[in-house]
């Protein structure tokens, strides 16, 4: 397929790279010239704006950090909506169902179909092509885009309803955030009591407390004090707040997720919204007066 790709950050770069490696012809755009050049070196063509990509190509994929940026890229004056050739806009970002529906309606007026395709699996999943791709949109258009979407990982068709893929993504991400928050408190408690966090993780992973934080994030990113997952506190805060807003609109109480949001806010305020999500453990550590690291470790 001939594909346009907008947004070449931590996730987008690997997704775009995999499309090139799979034999698709790619034209790319990012606000950072260095990010464009990195893909051009791998065989992509460069464009100067989202509109330029939409002038050239029928299928445009976006991987962007916030709902407002997606809205501007999709419907702004120099956005996809102004393109002469584009037929479908595939958004792999996390925007929430309300924003997805808003963009769907705006693009539909110009005979452009939006396909929601938010992804989960992190930077490592984008790199390896093992993402979960949660798709909603007209079935025929999804099928037309599937050769590209399958390059990213396993495709799940959620619904034809605009925004359904976004609701699925938010449900997934709040569970991921909850695992991080709850595991941080549990492991810090154990360390304060004198337990080895490495042993704690081994025990939990052999028992009923096992989750994504204990399986990967604590042993790989936190206990070695690397804090290099590749996803920020601010982005997870955005996702959790989107979920809380959607739950409120649906009349669904979310007391546990509200508590997770408070801990994430502490991480944003005290460590920084641009810091790695795995630093969510640090506000808990500070209050407890301990650090989650291997005993007698020489790591800084």
Catalytic residue among 110, 169, 226, 248: 169
Q: pTM, whole model, 2 decimals? A: 0.92
Has residue 300 got a pLDDT over 90? no
Backbone phi, psi, residue 114, to 5°: -95, 135
Which residue, 115, 79, 88, is CA-closest to 100? 115
Instruction: Specify the pLDDT at position 295.
Output: 86
Helix (H) or strand (E) holding 134: strand 131-136
Residue 296's pLDDT band (cuts 50, 70, 90): confident
pLDDT tens-digit series, residues 158-205:
999 999 999 999 999 999 999 999 999 999 999 999 999 999 999 999
Helix axes 197-205, 164-192, angle to 10 degrees: 130
Q: Per-residue pLDDT averaged across 1-17, rounded?
A: 97
Report the SS3 class of residue 6. Answer: strand
Tokens standing for residue 181: 């928050």
The answer to whether 18 and 129 are in contact (CB under 8 A) is: yes
Has residue 10 got a pLDDT over 60? yes
Q: Do domains 2-161 and 167-288 have the same CATH topology?
A: no
Backbone phi, psi, residue 212, to 5°: -65, -30
Pick the CATH number of 2-161 from 1.10.760.10, 3.30.1360.40, 3.40.50.720, 3.40.50.300: 3.40.50.720
Helix axes 255-270, 164-192, angle to 10 degrees: 70
Residue 57's pLDDT band (cuts 50, 70, 90): very high
Q: What is the DSSP letter of 278?
A: G
pLDDT tens-digit series, residues 18-33:
999 999 999 999 999 9
pLDDT tens-digit series, residues 74-119:
999 999 999 999 999 999 999 999 999 999 999 999 999 999 999 9
Q: Is 289 exposed, middle or buried (0-12, 13-18, 19+ CB in 10 A)?
A: exposed
Active site residue 169: yes
Which residue, 106, 91, 105, 229, is CA-closest to 165? 91
Q: Per-residue pLDDT averaged across 228-255, rounded?
A: 96
pLDDT tens-digit series, residues 134-161:
999 999 999 999 999 999 999 999 999 9
Report the SS3 class of residue 59. Answer: strand
Q: In the predicted model, what is the mean pLDDT of the chain?
A: 96
Give me the residue spans of the domains in the chain. 2-161, 167-288
Q: With the CA atoms of 270, 274, 278 and 284 taken in that order, what torsion angle do they form, in degrees rounded to the nearest 10? A: 10
Tokens standing for residue 43: 């065989």
Top CATH class of 167-288 equals mainly alpha
Residue 71's pLDDT band (cuts 50, 70, 90): very high
> Using alpha carbons only, what angle is made at residue 239 by residues 237 and 242, rounded to the nearest 5 degrees?
110
pLDDT tens-digit series, residues 210-237:
999 999 999 999 999 999 999 999 999 9
Separation CA 74–CA 57 (nearest Å) = 14
């Amino acid at each position: 397929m001939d594909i346009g790709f907008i947004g070449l950050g931590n996730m987008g770069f690997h997704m775009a790279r995999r499309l090139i490696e799979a034999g698709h012809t790619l034209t790319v755009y990012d606000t950072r010239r260095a990010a464009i050049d990195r893909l051009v070196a791998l065989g992509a063509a460069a464009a100067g704006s989202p509109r330029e990509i939409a002038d050239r190509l029928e299928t445009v994929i976006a991987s962007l950090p916030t709902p407002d940026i997606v809205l501007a890229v999709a419907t702004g004056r120099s956005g996809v909506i102004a393109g002469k050739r584009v037929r479908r806009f595939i958004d792999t970002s996390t925007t929430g169902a309300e924003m997805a529906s808003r963009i769907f309606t705006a693009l539909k007026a110009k005979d452009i179909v939006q396909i929601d395709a938010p992804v989960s699996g992190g930077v490592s999943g984008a790199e390896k092509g093992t993402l979960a791709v949660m798709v909603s949109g007209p079935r025929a258009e999804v099928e037309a885009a599937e050769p590209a979407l399958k390059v990213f990982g396993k495709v799940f068709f959620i619904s034809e309803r605009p925004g359904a893929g976004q609701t699925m993504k938010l449900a997934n991400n709040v569970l991921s955030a909850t695992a991080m928050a709850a595991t941080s408190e549990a492991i810090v408690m154990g360390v304060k009591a004198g337990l080895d966090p490495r042993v704690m993780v081994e025990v939990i992973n052999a028992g009923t407390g096992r989750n994504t934080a204990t399986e990967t994030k604590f042993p790989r990113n936190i206990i070695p004090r690397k804090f290099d997952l590749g996803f920020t506190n601010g982005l997870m805060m955005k996702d959790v707040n989107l979920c809380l807003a959607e739950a409120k609109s649906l009349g669904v109480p979310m007391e546990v997720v509200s508590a997770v949001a408070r801990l994430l806010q502490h991480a944003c305020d005290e460590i920084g919204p641009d810091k790695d999500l795995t630093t969510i453990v640090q506000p808990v550590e500070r209050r407890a007066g301990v650090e989650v690291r291997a005993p007698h470790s020489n790591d800084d």
